[in-house]
Amino acid sequence: MPTKMKCSVTVLCSGSSGNSVHIRLGDTSVLIDVGISCKMTEKRMNDFGIDPESVNAVFLTHEHTDHTRGAKRYCSKFGTPLYATKGTLSLTPLGSIEKTAIKSSDVVRIDGVTMKSFPIKHFAAEPVAFSLAAEKVKVGMASDLGCVTKEVVDHLKSSNLLLVEANYDDRMLMSGTYPEFLKKTIRSDHGHLSNDDAAALCSSAATARTERIVLLHLSRENNTPAMAEEAVNGRLQHDGVEARLDVTEHGSSKGPIRL
Ligand SMILES: [Zn+2]
Ligand SMILES: [Zn+2]
């Protein structure tokens, strides 16, 4: 049996104040989204001993500023190539940095890693999620999705490590202070995933290969890490999924999560 390739994931920030996830497979590493300032991204990377210059590529999921805020500065400072869909590129101010348009269903090879993009439903121009694979290791990540399609489940299926959005607790959102239109948007098929939606997605996508699951993009106002954990762990236990669950806190970093 060949030894499994080294994999580590560090969530630099998660939630509406900024999202950025560093994923390393073997000697190749990428950042998915740079939604905090470049300065903060560097600081958090330094805290985890990650050299910003070692990142092979930046991938953007969609144009919302909580996913793109620091991307231009980061890529120009470190000369990192950026990949995003045409729709995302058209609405993200990126200046003259090196950028490549990908399709919403695409396959890009970054050194030894195969990055697959797949379309998701979210109120953005051309949003995508990603799965990464190298040798026998697969990491799947899907955040900012209004609903779970069969395509999303198929792409995340059998990931060794899964990162999934768990944005809100439905009761907390409905009894909270958000205006009605906003509650409706968040709950719509183009908004965000509730804890229960996340639980169902994790349960359908996880297999015996799935060792770790990380919950992302928790709302500060409409969720708590304990509620998200209870909803998802309850479902995983009920469905006999043995993966270990980690929950990110709004605005905080977490990692490294290693396989
Ligand atoms: Zn977001
Ligand atoms: Zn968004």
Q: What is the pLDDT of residue 76?
A: 98
pTM for this model (two decimals): 0.96
Ligand at minimal distance from the CA of 185 is 2
Ligand at minimal distance from the CA of 165 is 1
Beta strands in the chain (DSSP E): 7-13, 20-25, 28-32, 57-59, 82-85, 99-102, 106-110, 113-119, 128-134, 137-142, 161-165, 212-216, 244-247, 254-258
Cα–ligand 1 centroid distance for 210 (angstroms) = 25
Given strand 57-59, what is the order of strands in its sheet? Answer: 99-102, 82-85, 57-59, 28-32, 20-25, 7-13, 254-258
Do 236 and 243 contact (CB within 8 A), yes or no?
yes
Cα–ligand 2 centroid distance for 217 (angstroms) = 10
> Three-class SS of residue 58?
strand
Checking DSSP bridges between strand 113-119 and strand 128-134, what pairing results, if any?
antiparallel
Cα–ligand 1 centroid distance for 95 (angstroms) = 22
pLDDT in tens, the chain (259 residues): 455 788 999 999 999 999 999 999 999 999 999 999 999 999 999 999 999 999 999 999 999 999 999 999 999 999 999 999 999 999 999 999 999 999 999 999 999 999 999 999 999 999 999 999 999 999 999 999 999 999 999 999 999 999 999 999 999 999 999 999 999 999 999 999 999 999 999 999 999 999 999 999 999 999 999 999 999 999 999 999 999 999 999 999 999 999 9
Structure-token pair, residue 40:
């903060």
Cα–ligand 2 centroid distance for 121 (angstroms) = 10
Q: What is the pLDDT of residue 5?
A: 81
Q: Which domains occur in the chain, in start order? A: 7-258 (3.60.15.10)
